[in-house]
Structure 1
Amino acid sequence: MATDREDLEVKIAYLESEQDKLERALNEHHERLDKAELVIEELAKRLRDQSTKLDALDLPVDEKPPHY
């Protein structure tokens, strides 16, 4: 028959194992978030660059197309 101490030791070992799993998952999510932030920054830069290029074209905003 297991003693109270043995029961506690089993529970502690289980909790430590689960904590390790959660810590690994958290670290993995942190790395993925960092990568996603870099991608978002790059996409935002590309969007700004495209916007700047469009602004430089100086297209008329209110002009109707020739087929009207």
Structure 2
Amino acid sequence: MGGDIVGEAWVKSKERVEIPINNYKDRQTYYGALNLLEPDLILEKYLTGNGENTVKFIENLQKKMS
């Protein structure tokens, strides 16, 4: 694939679909959590996935839960 990054997606059982990413710099990073007590998906977009943004997400999550 010439150095392209390849992602995967959920499809029917026993089928596999590859989704090529032509420019890996256009990737998007999301942090998410599922609240099982009140069925709710909490999703936040960040520029990168790193320790600093992980801490920010957890802090934001704690604020939403309090």
Give the structure with the larger helix fraction: 1
Structure with larger Rg: 1
Which category describes the TM-score, using the shorter chain as reference length? under 0.3
TM-score by length of 1: 0.25
TM-score by length of 2: 0.26
